[in-house]
Structure 1
């Protein structure tokens, strides 16, 4: 990582600020990425939000994952100030390109908003037989009572229950509910989503600008459809879908034929439509193949994911940054 003392003699380089948590910075090995970029005439600077951004700039591009700060800003004054400082700098420097725009990224922190986007995608991608599972927004306890009849018409057991907030460790805590008798295990605000059998295979689509990569991960095993008296299963989705996961929740009970992989053309159409609707360049999409219909099914959209298992991640990310920088120069 280049130090501030080196900056004056390198001002001819194109400068990219990275605004990430320490955990994210280590996970993507930002120091190694900075060295890789330096070899290609791009200077990477790690932004410290506790210090004035004007003293750390100028930046041609800022790559960020402000999710932690945005979520914390709802109840923490320090985070509110850090977010305000960041937004003030961005407003005062309109030529600095933000990857990705804050409004687009912020809506993906709310699963209510995310699932509405997924429903819109289903309508615009009908030709590719891409869909998303039926879901219900549960705002408060009374929704569970008033919507039981509706649920019988639009959703089917088992149901996946996910927190409304789609970021942070708690957002990975989910439950699988097998009947209305277990609604006591539902804690609003949350989303209830029909569970779709998919052969215990999750396909994570990682998007980096105009490139995308599909990585296979373990997922929840198949369960019989319809209500039953089985107790609620609580699980952490991050643990279940780790590359090396060997949870008993991912082990299929019986031998079943392997499902076909997602159509590359369908994935390409999905990514293109999603980028157009969101205006984002760094995101992930979780998809499954319905065991019964073989339909490509979108189950989640993620902000600036981990990109674990993506080949040539550094070169793809640098290529995206260079394309943005070239557009600035030509503009």
Structure 2
């Protein structure tokens, strides 16, 4: 262990012994996911790898109280609806003190308009580029408006799994020139651009566009968001201001995203689940 540049070998040896003595028992992970989310996340490769590490995934019956099920070491959930929110809030209050469970714009504009509520449907992922304020009346509210920033047609999807960070490139919206901006009016619809099929990792890109954001920046951003949002499973969509090297914008944050699109997610995710139990074990007072 190192503090202010000093090394304490005794502490390092003690921590190493505790880590070696940790023998994880069966880890039961309860999950409440939409059918779409389950199909994209709980793939056979993940379940096989999880079993090899002593992890079992058990479906939660959303029609029964959570306390009548399990017991679960970890609860993964991503469901919509007022009823489910009330169920999970009641459950969170009951386990709050239980350290054995881990719950993881001017008249001439250039804006991206997208639905406020994202529920997994195709409609909730519709994007429009609005060139004037009058065209916004054609869209159905509620909406989120974001200033459009030219970014070379590439965005960076930054997956966070506990302390792990994985970055992939995705094709995004093309640049819009000042000439185009002066001529075009109304709305331009865009397809969903962040799907796995839009991967730009192997594309022949301008190095100034393809260069990944600096690792220290991502680590600091991930650490701050974990603290402020109270999340351990999320991803960030980030773009670089076109023509610059170190000007970035965060344009979206998603909790429990589609990890099935992240390379090697099975190993990263199962290691994360095991680390949760190990960290709880290390924090327990010696008896």
Using structure 2 for the length normalisation, give the TM-score. Answer: 0.76
Partners in 1 of 2:43 and 2:207 — Cα distance? 41
Partners in 2 of 1:92 and 1:272 — Cα distance? 27
Partners in 2 of 1:59 and 1:17 — Cα distance? 6
Match of 1:199 in 2: 152
| Residues 20-29 or 218-227, more deviating | 218-227
Partners in 2 of 1:324 and 1:156 — Cα distance? 50
Match of 1:164 in 2: 116
Q: Which runs of 5+ in 1 are unaligned?
A: 1-11, 74-79, 101-150, 247-254
1:33 aligns with 2:46: yes
Correspondent of 2:138 among 185, 190, 200: 185
Higher-Rg structure is 2
Match of 1:97 in 2: 101
Closer, same or farther: CA 183–313 of 1 in aligned 2, 3 Å: closer
Q: What SS does the aligned partner of 1:273 have?
A: helix
Partners in 2 of 1:276 and 1:89 — Cα distance? 22
Cα deviation digits, residues 291-324 of structure 1 (max 9, x gap): 1333111111011111244232112112221121
Closer, same or farther: CA 45–223 of 1 in aligned 2, 3 Å: same
Correspondent of 2:226 among 272, 275, 279: 275
Alignment of 1:227-242 (within 5 A): 228-237=183-192, 240-242=193-195
Q: Is the 8 A contact 1:176 1:233 kept in 2?
A: yes
Q: Is the 8 A contact 1:179 1:227 kept in 2?
A: no
Correspondent of 1:213 among 166, 172, 182: 166
Q: Is the 8 A contact 1:179 1:228 kept in 2?
A: no
Partners in 1 of 2:263 and 2:149 — Cα distance? 29
Correspondent of 2:270 among 279, 294, 318: 318
Closer, same or farther: CA 256–276 of 1 in aligned 2, 3 Å: same
Please give the root-mean-square deviation of Cα atoms over the aligned residues, in Å: 2.6
Using structure 1 for the length normalisation, give the TM-score. Answer: 0.67
Correspondent of 1:298 among 250, 254, 257: 250
Which structure shows the higher strand fraction?
2
Q: Which runs of 5+ in 2 are unaligned?
A: 1-24, 200-204
Alignment of 1:1-331 (within 5 A): 13-66=26-79, 68=80, 72-73=81-82, 80=83, 82-94=84-96, 95=98, 97-100=101-104, 151-152=105-106, 157-169=109-121, 170-225=123-178, 226=181, 228-237=183-192, 240-245=193-198, 258-259=208-209, 260-294=211-245, 295-329=247-281, 330-331=283-284
Q: Between Structure 1 and Structure 2, how many residues are aligned?
A: 247
Partners in 2 of 1:194 and 1:13 — Cα distance? 48
